[in-house]
Each structure stands twice: as structure tokens, then as C-alpha cells.
Amino acid sequence: MSKQKIIALTGTPGTGKTNIAKILKKKGFAVIDLNLEIRKRRLYFVYDRKRKTYVADMKKIGNFLRKKLRSEKYESKVVIIDSHLSHLLPTSLINAVVVLRCSPEVLEKRLKERGWSAEKIRENVESEIIGLIEYEARERHKKVFAIDATKLKAGQIVNKIINLFKP
């Protein structure tokens, strides 16, 4: 029986995680929309109204995931954890991290299309410029794969990920 493999799919908001996760799901991967679970199960401390974001409780999130991943649905599967917070999960939970990267210009355009505030856009674009999420991921985990998704079609990104985790 193949072993369960947990992959954190992370990257600055707007880099395309959910877009990719949807396709991976169609191809047979198990996908957990972690941001949705955080909201649904209140796995956060507070909602920061000014920044329009939840302040996540990583301990609660870890405990919730550990339990969820024990269920039959996720047995012997490659499980994709879709969230810009997934790389902050403990190494005991995560086998590898995929970080989607994107050029600041393209990212800014995508976030503008979402109607986000100028401040929130700037904060995220700056974070992508310095490569904050990739840095945080490499600081914590051994197997970290960064993919520059700027010029790739979704299908090409998906193929890269599938090749990384071929059994």
C-alpha cells in the first residue's frame, strides 16, 4: 500500500494555488482548502477588520489537520493543502512544500482585479518581491520546490507538480 504524502501548496495570495489545486483534484489528488476550513471551523484568534484577514491559530489548525488526515478519505493519498499558510504547518505534518512564485507586475494586476485595497495589494506584492513565503518555507522544511508560475499555463504547472510527486 502506498504511503500518504502531504504537500503544502503555498505562495502569496494571487499566485494561483486554488486554480492549480482544482485541476490536481480532477486528476485524483486529495485537496484540502485550508483557508475555507479555517473560517468554517474558526481556527483563528480574531478577524482583523482593518486588514480584512483572519489571524490564524496555527496550533488549532495543526490539530484539526492531524485528525482529518487520519480519515479513510485521505488514506494512501497524495494530499494537497491549499493555503498561503500551509508552509507554516509543522514538519511532522508536511512531507514537501510547493511554492508558487509570480512576477510582481502580474501579481499586482491580478490582485487589482480582485478589488483589494491599495494597502493590501502593496503588502502582498512587497512580500512576493522579497520572496517571503519561499524564505519561510525553506527555513522550516527540507523539501521545498519553487515554481515560477508567471508565464506558465495552469496545465504546465500541474504537470511539474505531478512529476515531482510521482510514486
Ligand X SMILES: Nc1ncnc2c1ncn2[C@@H]1O[C@H](COP(=O)(O)OP(=O)(O)OP(=O)(O)O)[C@@H](O)[C@H]1O
Closest to ligand X by CB, 84 or 87: 84
Shortest distance, CB of residue 52 to Mg ion, whole angstroms? 15
The pairing of strands 5-10 and 78-82 is parallel
- Residue whose CB is nearest to ligand X in the complex, by number: 16
Cβ nearer to Mg ion, comparing 96 with 100: 100
DSSP secondary structure of 57-89? -HHHHHHHHHHHTTSGGGTT-EEEEESTTGGGS
Binding-site partner at residue 160 among Mg ion, ligand X, none, CB < 5 to 8 Å by type: none
Going by their DSSP bridges, the two strands 44-48 and 53-56 should be labelled as: antiparallel
Work out how close the CB of 140 gets to ligand X at its nearest, in angstroms, rounded to a whole number.
19
Which of 3, 5, 6, 18 lies at the binding interface for Mg ion (CB under 5 A)? 18
DSSP annotation of 16: S
Question: Which residues sit at the interface with ligand X, rule CB under 6 A?
Answer: 11, 13-19, 84, 110, 149, 152-154, 157
Residues 6 or more apart from 140 whose CB is under 8 A from it? 87, 88, 91
Contact of 149 with 16, CB cutoff 8 Å: yes
- 94 vs 149 by CB, closer to ligand X: 149
Of these partners, ligand X, Mg ion, none, which one is at the site of residue 137 (CB under 5 to 8 Å by kind)?
none
